[in-house]
Homo-oligomer: A and B are copies of this chain.
Amino acid sequence: MRNRFDRQLQQLNEELIEMGEHIEYAIEMASNAFATQDCEKAKEAISYDTEIDQQERDIEALCMKLLLQQQPVAKDLRLISSALKMITDMERIGDHAADISEMTLSMAGAPYMIKPDCIQKMAVETIDMVIRSVNAFVNKDLEAARWVIKRDDVVDELFDSVKNRLIDLINSNKENGEQASDMLMVAKYFERIGDHATNIAEWVIFSITGTHEDA
């Protein structure tokens, strides 16, 4: 029985890693489409979200099966219920990749007057956070999870700096308003991706220690 349970837990880990990779791919696709104003890629990123939604359903079904069939207790119960919560945050990250791509489409009418470099940095940081948070779950790595939570400060600082720069641009010239406010939205979605990666890391800590550490 335990052997079968272990195999099912192994399957859960593998599916989480796969979902993590798909999310990484979605953010990268959305980020590239945004940087290069590539509408075809943006549309691809939007439709890719359906795949991530489906993965959430599949993992959810697996977790429910494990909970009902195996009636796990203590650590195993925490592990599975944490996975159940994590996938909600993972799915939301997929939503935000689609949101970013919707913004890319609505900004397609005009070339960028404002360079989106700093937003690209946010993309790199958040992709890193997502990968590390999922790996922390799979490897039961408390330190890695804490690292992710700490790292969110960097994303928040990047967001504040993007925001201030965009506010300056609007303040200095109203003609920047339309594009700057759209870029602000994109930056906000990346900042939210960082929040969700932080939530994932908090669930990792809960699954290992049984307590919730607030950042």
Contacts and interface: CB of A to CB of B under 8 A. Distances in A.
A164 interface: yes
A181 interface: yes
Nearest to A57: B60
Contacts of A177: 163-164, 167, 170-171
Interface string A181-215: 10011001000100000000000000000000000
Contact of A184 (B88, B95, B181): B181
Contacts of A184: 181, 184-185
A4 interface: no
Nearest to A53: B88
Contacts of A60: 57
A168 interface: yes
Residue with the highest number of chain B CB atoms closer than 10 Å, among A166, A181, A188, A192: A181
Contacts of A2: none
A92 interface: yes
Interface in A150-186: 163-164, 166-168, 170-171, 173-174, 177-178, 181, 184-185
Contacts of A166: 181
A185 B99 CA distance: 13
Nearest to A160: B178
Interface in A120-136: none
A167 to B, nearest CB: 4
Interface string A29-63: 00000000000000000000000010001001000
Contacts of A188: 185
Interface of A: 53, 57, 60, 88, 92, 95, 99, 163-164, 166-168, 170-171, 173-174, 177-178, 181, 184-185, 188, 192
Given A167-B181, A170-B171, 8 more contacts: A92-B95, A95-B95, A163-B177, A166-B181, A167-B170, A167-B177, A167-B178, A171-B173
22 contacts: A53-B88, A95-B95, A163-B177, A163-B178, A163-B181, A166-B181, A167-B170, A167-B174, A167-B177, A167-B181, A168-B174, A170-B170, A170-B171, A170-B177, A171-B173, A171-B174, A171-B177, A181-B181, A181-B184, A184-B184, A184-B185, A185-B188
